[in-house]
Each structure stands twice: as C-alpha cells, then as structure tokens.
C-alpha cells in the first residue's frame, strides 16, 4: 500500500492508529535506527583500526579496514585480533636511515643560524669563477 493510499475500508486509520501518527512513528523509528547503526559502525571501525598492534601500522590498518568492510558480522575486536595474528607488522626504519636523517637535520639547522653559509652559494661562486676564468668574461658588478 502506498504511503498516501487509504486502507480498503476507506478510513484513514490502521488498527485504531491515525495514519499521520503511524507515519510519524515510522519516520522517528527510521531516524533513530539509522543514527544507532551509524554510531555502531563507527565504534566497530574505531575498535578495529585503533587496537593495539594495528594502530600506526599502515599495512595492518589497511587489512583491518578491508576485513571489517568485507565481514560485517565480525566485531571490531575480532577484526583487530585476526589482523594482528595474520598480517606481518611493518618493519621499523633501519638505524642507517635515522643517522642519515640526523645528518640532514643538523645541516638544515646550521643553515638556519644567522651568518651560516649555504654550500650551494659556495658552489655557485666557484662555478661562475671558473666560467669567467675560462671565457674571459668580466665579473658582474653589482
């Protein structure tokens, strides 16, 4: 029966409930149900992705999200537990990478100091000096 059609008896009530009240109750129930479902889904995904052993590991987080979407019957905790057991953890960065980062960081910090010389400026001056010496071009006055 369509939303606007009257029941076969011609009255505008269903089982003693006015149609307008019935429609309002159905709309309220639908709105409440959708909100509860969205909240439950958010909590489930948060539990799956934010669990210890999954959180912060891109590979495991991706696997947890994929499993949670494909297996809606699993709880967030079950998804996380499955992923931790079956998906290898990402390997931490090698210490050589940390050393290279520290060297780069210190070099950049030195450039930020007042009066620090930029190595690229030294190279530019050297290249221009060599060019002038080899071509006889005069030094730029400025």
* Segment 123-138, tens digit of pLDDT: 677 777 777 778 877 7
Residues 78 and 47 in one domain: yes
Burial class (CB within 10 angstroms; exposed 0-12, middle 13-18, buried 19+) of 64: buried
Q: Which residue has the higher pLDDT, 85 or 5?
A: 85
Q: Which residue has the higher pLDDT, 90 or 43?
A: 43
| pLDDT at position 85 | 93
Q: Tell me if 45 is assigned to some domain.
A: yes
Total tally of structural domains belonging to the chain: 2
Residues 51 and 114 in one domain: no
Residues 108 and 46 in one domain: no
For residue 51, the enclosing domain spans 15-86
Question: Using CA atoms, how far apart are residues 122 and 120, in angstroms rounded to an integer?
Answer: 5
Cα atoms in the Cβ-side hemisphere of radius 13 Å centred on 123: 3
Across the range 105-128, mean pLDDT stands at: 68
Tell me the pLDDT band of 51, cut-offs 50, 70 and 90.
very high
Residues 28 and 82 in one domain: yes
Tell me the pLDDT band of 114, cut-offs 50, 70 and 90.
low
Tell me the pLDDT band of 83, cut-offs 50, 70 and 90.
very high
Asked whether residue 43 carries a pLDDT value surpassing 90, the answer given is: yes
Q: Tell me if 7 is assigned to some domain.
A: no
Residues 81 and 111 in one domain: no
């Amino acid at each position: 029966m369509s939303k606007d059609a009257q029941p076969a008896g011609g009255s505008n009530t269903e089982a003693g409930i006015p149609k307008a009240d019935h429609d309002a109750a159905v709309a309220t129930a639908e709105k409440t149900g959708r909100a509860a479902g969205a909240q439950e889904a958010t909590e489930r995904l948060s539990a799956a992705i934010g669990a210890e052993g999954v959180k912060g590991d891109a590979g495991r987080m991706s696997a947890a999200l994929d499993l949670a979407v494909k297996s809606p019957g699993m709880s967030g905790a079950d998804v996380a537990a499955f992923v931790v057991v079956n998906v290898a953890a990402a390997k931490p960065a090698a210490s050589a990478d940390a050393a290279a980062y520290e060297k780069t960081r210190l070099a950049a910090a030195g450039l930020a100091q007042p009066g620090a010389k930029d190595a690229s400026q030294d190279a530019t001056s050297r290249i221009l000096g060599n060019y002038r010496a080899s071509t006889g071009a005069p030094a730029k006055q400025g």
